[in-house]
Amino acid sequence: MPKTYESITRYYGRYSCRRRGDRAKLAPPPAEERESDYRREFRRSSWAACIKRIYEIDPLECPKCKAQMRIIAFIQDSHSIKDIMKAQGIPDFQAPPPIPKFIDTALAIDELPSYDSFEPTPDDF
């Protein structure tokens, strides 16, 4: 009975790990197929394609001139983002006010109308 880390199957000759490794080193690498323009564009902007499909809005379309925009960089530094927002005149993000823990239900619920005393008028029909 082999131990848990031991393998029962052993390969010799052509199928051994060493011979398979030697053959892999000698074999020429497979010829790379030229990627189509459609596939390259889909891979590059797959997130944009998803947003376009779901919301029916092209996120890479310029709102002013309707030309196709391209992504130059993703900025993740918060200081840089605040500087850019300040230069564009966009106010800083503010969190919404906290929701009160206790809500007075008398103020939140309007008085329910009484439907038992409803008398139809000729305009209701």
Dump pLDDT digits (tens) for 15-59: 888 888 888 888 776 655 566 666 666 666 577 888 888 888 888
Is the CA virtual torsion 113, 118, 121, 124 positive or negative? positive
- Locate 71 and state its tokens: 């992504």
Q: What does the domain layout of the chain look like in residue ranges?
A: 34-71
Secondary structure class of 66 (helix, strand, coil): coil
Helix (H) or strand (E) holding 84: helix 78-88
Helix (H) or strand (E) holding 108: helix 105-108
Dump pLDDT digits (tens) for 53-103: 888 888 889 989 999 988 888 888 889 988 998 999 988 877 777 776 766
Give Rg (Cα) of the chain: 34
